[in-house]
Each structure stands twice: as structure tokens, then as C-alpha cells.
Amino acid sequence: MTKKEQDRIRRILIILKKRYLDAECALTHEDPLQLLIATILSAQCTDSRVNQVTPRLFKRYPSSYELAEADLSELENLIRSTGFFRNKAKSIKGTCQLLVSRFKGKVPHSMEDLLALPGVARKTANVVLGSAFGIPSGVVVDTHVFRLSHRLGLTRARTPEKVEQDLMRKVPQEEWINFSHRLIFHGRQVCTARKPRCHECSLSEACPKVGVNEG
């Protein structure tokens, strides 16, 4: 990476920090378990929808022990509106059974242990490690981060896994957690999928606008 590119990325990080200083995980949670379950539910679903579902879910099943013993059909009904509810219910119950049998009901704070849980891939593990434990294990690549990383010219990769690898090489590790939160906020508020508002974007001068039709 050239010094010019390093300087450009540094400007992007500074601008994002100034614009979204208080950006944080949009999934409402009170502890690591709630965040883990909410993140599993967020697959192919909006955070706002998940946040509507989880209060009732956690009131009914307040710990991993209750979720491990949950009636699957009741669990499915509680999370139905998040989509793919059958698979998600199986993942949640299976995850909590493993938490109970291997981790005394607690959410582990290592990538290896998290990836052993049903329904947990690297993105979910990164969310939990970053937002619940403050561990910068990687960069969360959701649809917003994927889209903006390409528009900003930070990657040409075609899979979230490879995009994450590119971002981890270019963004300092101490910025990984906040970088994801801030880019997600920017993707929701300004650099939207259908019609990015480049004319009012604070990153405009540092952005090559890859694939963006400004006309």
C-alpha cells in the first residue's frame, strides 16, 4: 500500500470518527448472550425488526439455560417475523445447548469457540467479540460495509470474507470495531444502495466513487 493510499485511508477514518463519534451496534442488547442471539436473528433481516422481536423473546427465555430447553415450535413463533425462522430457531437452541454443555451457559470470547456454535459464522463472531467484549477480532462486513468498501476503493473482492481480509490489511486494528459501526451508519444515512447522496457526503473528496453513477 502506497503512502498516498495510507494518507487517504487515514482521512477516511478521521472523517468517519468526526461524523459518527457515537456510532455503536444497532442491535439492542444487555449482555453478550442477547447480542449473540440478536445477531443470529439479524441474518437477512433488519436490525429494527430484530429489536422488535427480542424483548419478548428474552422475557420468555432470559438465559441460555431456558433457551437450550425451549420448545422449538414456540421459539419459531416468537421469531417468525425475522424470516428463516425455522433455521434460526434450530441455531439458537443448538447454540444455547452448546453454551450450557461446554461453557457453563456463558458466551465464550474467542473466535475459535464462537465459530463452533451452530449458526455462528465469522461476521456474527466479530459482532459479539467487538461489541460485547471490545475485542478487535476482525472487521464486521455486512451489506453496508461490503458496498461502501467497494465504493471507497478499499477492495475489489467479491466475497465478504475476502473483503474483510482487505480491510484488515488496510485499516489499523485498533480501528476495526469503530470502523464497522461508522461505515454502517454512513451507509444507512448517506451512501445508500440505490441513490448515494454524494453531493452531501463528508467523504466525497477522499472517495473514488467506484461504480457510482452520479448522473
Pick the catalytic residue from 17, 47, 142, 162: 142
166 is catalytic: no
Residues 6+ apart with CB under 8 A from 63: 33, 105
Pick the catalytic residue from 17, 71, 123, 195: 123
Cα(79)–Cα(56) distance, integer angstroms: 9
What contacts 24+ positions apart, CB below 8 Å, involve 205-213? 206/8, 206/11, 206/12, 206/15, 206/152, 207/12, 207/151, 207/152, 207/153, 208/151, 208/152, 208/153, 209/151, 210/150, 210/151, 210/152, 210/153, 211/150, 211/151, 212/151
Cα(122)–Cα(160) distance, integer angstroms: 10
Cα(138)–Cα(122) distance, integer angstroms: 9
Cα(51)–Cα(38) distance, integer angstroms: 8
142 is catalytic: yes
Please say whether the beta carbons of 91 and 118 come within 8 A. Answer: yes
Active site residues: 123, 142
